[in-house]
Amino acid sequence: MLYYLFEYLNKTMDVPGAGVFQYITFRSALALMLSLLLSTIYGKRIINFLRKQQVGETVRELGLAGQNEKAGTPTMGGLIIIFATLIPVLLFARLHNIYIVLLIVTTLWMGTIGFVDDYIKIFKKDKEGLKGKFKVIGQVGLGIIVGAVLYFNPAVTVRTDTGYSESFKATNTTVVLPAPVEEKSTATTIPFIKNNEFDYAEILAWTGEGYEKWAWLIFIPVVIFIITAVSNGANLTDGIDGLAAGTSAISVLALGIFTFVSGNIIFSNYLNIMYIPNSGEMTVFISAFVGALIGFLWYNSYPASVFMGDTGSLTIGGIIAVLAIAVRKEILIVLFCGIFLAENASVVIQVFYFKYTKKRFGEGRRIFLMAPLHHHYQKKGYHESKIVTRFWIVAVMLAILSIVTLKLR
């Protein structure tokens, strides 16, 4: 909202300094600072409110050291992340931008699903929370909305060839940027490969002429799968103090770099990557989101004063998934969300192997001492802080590797 106020002041009253609000970098910096202040200062008040309402975590008996001590710790702390993200976004972002609208919808949608799940666990005394099928229905519903908007909305376009390199070589002194020719496309980026765009529509090429108009049959299911997988991965990662918030902040920072360069015609030309008009505005949202996650860590680091609950974890996963899809880097989720992938995979492998060995040998066997993966290391005797720190280090390495794909092909 402040963006529109200062735009008005700049255009109609020529107020000195008002024009600075047109710069994404300036508004992103303000969003980051405000979200940090909100999450750290007002986060304490939210925690005290949750404690007064007896919104405490009911911890299942898993046989882990120090586990029972966490019983009663306030949960639903994801509300801190949501509020500290949305308030700066509403103040500093261009709210008519389609990507900002999608991210706000995603935050509220997934936050509501997580809130209902936490509410049932706490106030209805049902440890299972919201039934799994209803969670999946909610995730699929969001996937349909995001996929349909990105496919059908005319404001969502891409340009893979800007002509910058050729014009620069021709003049040698003056940078000439031709008028962009933007088009609807379901193209995405394949890492480590030169000329690395892949169009989902090509999967239907065998159907003959006009296959492009049916690309949504591939694109929307892919979006649904990614949103469901990443949100569940974030949910599984939220098992020990600071793990989900810290690894998510690292992943989102990496995504922020991709978002900024993909939405900037000069940087996208220089790096020879897909130019996505208007996507740079997501940098403001990302800055607010990162600030909220880091501020939340102030209270969620070991020993945690608050847990994010499904209110936070499902929201985090949904936002990361939509960001990756919007900036056409969903294949890179394997890298910058490698921790989520490992946590997800450990559960799938554990369940599959247990069922397989039970059917074949008459008794179920396990690969991990406990799944998800972080519980395996707890069972081996590692302290929570050591596990979290090492997972963060791995997340940083994966984030760097994902950023390197901008040039390494």
Residue 409 lies in a domain: no
Residue 296's identity, in one-letter code, is F
Looking at this protein, which amino acid is placed at residue 270?
Y
**pLDDT the model gives residue 59:** 59
pLDDT at residue 167, as a whole number: 45
Number of domains forming the structure of the chain? 1
Q: Are 343 and 35 in contact (CB under 8 A)?
A: no
Span 62-98, pLDDT tens digits: 556 556 667 778 888 999 999 999 999 999 999 999 9
Burial of 173 (0-12, 13-18, 19+ CB in 10 A): exposed
- Angle of CA points 376, 379, 381, to nearest 5°: 120
The residue range of the domain holding 296 is 2-404
Rounded to two decimals, the pTM is 0.91
By CB atoms closer than 10 A (0-12, 13-18, 19+), residue 11 is exposed
- Which strand (E) or helix (H) includes residue 197? strand 197-199
Q: Are the beta carbons of 345 and 367 closer than 8 angstroms?
A: no
**pLDDT tens column, 204-232:** 888 888 888 899 999 999 999 999 999 99
DSSP letter at 39 equals I
> Pick the residue with more confidence: 34 or 125?
34
Angle 270-271-276 from CA coordinates, rounded to 5°: 95
How far apart are the C-alpha atoms of 316 and 328, rounded to whole Å? 18
**Ordered DSSP codes for 64-127:** -TT-GGGTT-B--THHHHHHHHHHHHHHHS-TT-HHHHHHHHHHHHHHHHHHHHHHHHHHS--T
The answer to whether 117 and 135 are in contact (CB under 8 A) is yes
**Does residue 397 fall inside a structural domain?**
yes
Q: Nearest CA to 197 among 250, 234, 161?
A: 161
Give the Å distances, CA to CA, from 325 to 8, 45, 242, 408: 33, 35, 26, 21
* Span 125-155, pLDDT tens digits: 877 888 989 999 999 999 999 999 999 999 9
Residue 48 marked in a binding site = no
Segments in 327-368 forming alpha helices (H) = 333-336, 338-361
Which residue has better confidence, 14 or 312? 312
- Give the pLDDT confidence of 146-200 residue by residue, as tens digits: 999 999 999 999 886 645 444 444 445 555 555 556 788 888 988 888 777 888 9
Higher pLDDT: 145 or 22? It is 145
Q: Which helix (H) or strand (E) holds 205?
A: none
Does residue 235 have a known ligand-binding role? yes
What 8-state DSSP symbol labels residue 187?
A: E
Contacts of 381 (CB under 8 A, 6+ apart): none
